[in-house]
């Protein structure tokens, strides 16, 4: 069996599991875990936004929390302050993230390596403290809460994310669509151009690629993905807080996706320092799986394929 067939079969099984979660999980565990899996989907999209920059362009950003927070606040302010419906509020959140990514990217993508990481942290901190200061708009330390508007209205029937099953499938569909678009983008000529810049930006410039504009485009796309994740998280929690704009949230996206959430939910009720477990696991991954968990998984599949 080839690697493509093995990965295809496993991907199909994983997809079937995700589609069955609202019924399968409550049958074997507490329904609370459906919400945990829903949250994992949101944070996986946020982590993917970091990976788009770091994995395909070679830029390590610690400012993704800024765009995540813009997505959250766009939704919360749109509903609580402006009286917008579901879709206009979602659009406002994504638009705010895109605009912020464009503004920050104009300055940030001129730099590389640790200089790029530092300037993204600076942007994140500036707007984090600004969100705390503008209390009348953002709620300051208390954040902004809101009531969920209807997502769809069909005559007398109304669908809202207050329905946990509908919420799960809406978030699953949105996250899956974003991953599909990312896959198409990275496989396109644009994705290959970004990979060329990652490998050697000087040679990429010599063959005619506009390194600055391509990096800026990737930065904005990454910011939009983070903003979509933030908007979904706002709908998920009915809340927006400046806490999620702090740079440590960006660092968490670099280190974890689902692992931290599962550890948090399982261990935090018994031990408050559960973050240490994630740190130890991260160190072990760096030592034994320098290509990451996905790289380790692909190596295992390769060994199975080529086993005598």
* Contact status, residue 117 vs residue 239, Cβ threshold 8 Å: no
Which whole-number Å values give the CA distances from 25 to 9, 145, 162, 208, in the listed order? 21, 29, 19, 52
31, pLDDT greater than 80: yes
DSSP category for residue 150 = P
Q: Which residue has the higher pLDDT, 270 or 162?
A: 162
| Helix and strand counts by DSSP (H, E) for the chain | 14, 4
Whole-angstrom Cα distance, residue 160 to residue 153? Answer: 9
Per-residue pLDDT, 228:
96
Question: What tokens appear for 225 in the block?
Answer: 């993905």
Question: What tokens appear for 106 in the block?
Answer: 């104009």
Q: What are phi and psi of 38, to 5 degrees?
A: -60, -45
Mean pLDDT for 55-83 is 89
Q: Which residue carries 């600004």 as its tokens?
A: 130
Which whole-number Å values give the CA distances from 128 to 11, 98, 219, 242, 285, in the listed order? 38, 17, 19, 6, 31
pLDDT-based confidence at residue 226 (cuts at 50, 70, 90): very high
- What residues does 154 pair with on adjacent strands? 157
Question: For residue 155, is it left (φ>0), alpha (ψ between -120 and 50) or beta?
Answer: left
pLDDT-based confidence at residue 110 (cuts at 50, 70, 90): confident
The reported pTM is: 0.85
* Contact status, residue 118 vs residue 133, Cβ threshold 8 Å: no
Whole-angstrom Cα distance, residue 117 to residue 120? Answer: 5
Which whole-number Å values give the CA distances from 97 to 23, 34, 117, 185, 267, in the listed order? 34, 28, 18, 19, 33
pLDDT-based confidence at residue 32 (cuts at 50, 70, 90): confident
pLDDT-based confidence at residue 76 (cuts at 50, 70, 90): very high
Whole-angstrom Cα distance, residue 56 to residue 129? Answer: 31
Per-residue pLDDT, 229:
94
Per-residue pLDDT, 72:
94
263-290 pLDDT tens trace: 666 666 666 666 676 667 666 666 665 5
Side-chain half-sphere CA neighbours of 72 within 13 A: 28
Give the CA angle between residues 88, 92, 94 to the nearest 5°: 120
Question: What tokens appear for 297 in the block?
Answer: 């998984």
Per-residue pLDDT, 254:
63
pLDDT-based confidence at residue 204 (cuts at 50, 70, 90): confident
127-143 pLDDT tens trace: 889 988 888 888 888 88
Q: Which residue has the higher pLDDT, 230 or 7?
A: 230
- Work out the number of other CB atoms within 10 angstroms of the CB of residue 244: 24
28-37, 122-131, 284-293: which range is least confident on average? 284-293
DSSP category for residue 149 = P
Q: Which of 72, 119, 120 is nearest to 96 (CA)?
A: 72
Average pLDDT value for the chain: 83
Whole-angstrom Cα distance, residue 163 to residue 159? Answer: 8
Q: What are phi and psi of 145, to 5 degrees?
A: -105, 160
């Amino acid at each position: 069996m080839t690697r493509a067939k093995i990965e295809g079969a496993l991907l199909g099984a994983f997809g079937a599991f995700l589609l069955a979660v609202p019924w399968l999980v409550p049958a074997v565990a507490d329904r609370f875990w459906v919400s945990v899996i829903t949250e994992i989907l949101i944070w996986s999209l946020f982590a993917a936004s970091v990976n788009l920059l770091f994995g395909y362009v070679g830029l390590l950003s610690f400012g993704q929390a800024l765009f995540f927070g813009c997505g959250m606040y766009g939704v919360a302010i749109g509903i609580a302050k402006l009286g917008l419906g579901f879709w206009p509020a979602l659009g406002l959140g994504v638009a705010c993230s895109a605009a912020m990514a464009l503004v920050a990217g104009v300055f940030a993508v001129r730099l590389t390596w640790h200089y790029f990481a530092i300037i993204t942290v600076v942007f994140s901190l500036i707007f984090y403290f600004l969100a705390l200061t503008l209390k009348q708009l953002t709620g300051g330390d208390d954040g902004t809460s809101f009531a969920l508007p209807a997502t769809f209205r069909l005559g007398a029937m109304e669908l809202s994310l207050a329905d946990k099953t509908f919420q799960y499938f809406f978030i699953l569909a949105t996250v899956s669509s974003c991953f599909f678009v990312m896959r198409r983008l990275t496989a396109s000529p644009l994705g290959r151009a970004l990979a060329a810049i990652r490998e050697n930006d000087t040679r990429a410039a010599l063959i005619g690629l506009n390194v600055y504009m391509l990096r800026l485009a990737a930065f904005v796309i990454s910011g939009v993905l983070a903003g979509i994740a933030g908007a979904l998280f706002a709908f998920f929690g009915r809340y927006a807080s400046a806490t999620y704009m702090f740079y440590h949230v960006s660092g968490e996206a670099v280190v974890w996706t689902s692992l931290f959430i599962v550890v948090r939910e399982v261990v935090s009720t018994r031990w408050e320092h559960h973050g240490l477990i994630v740190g130890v696991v991260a160190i072990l991954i760096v030592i034994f799986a320098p290509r990451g968990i996905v790289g380790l998984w692909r190596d295992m599949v390769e060994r199975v394929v080529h086993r005598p």
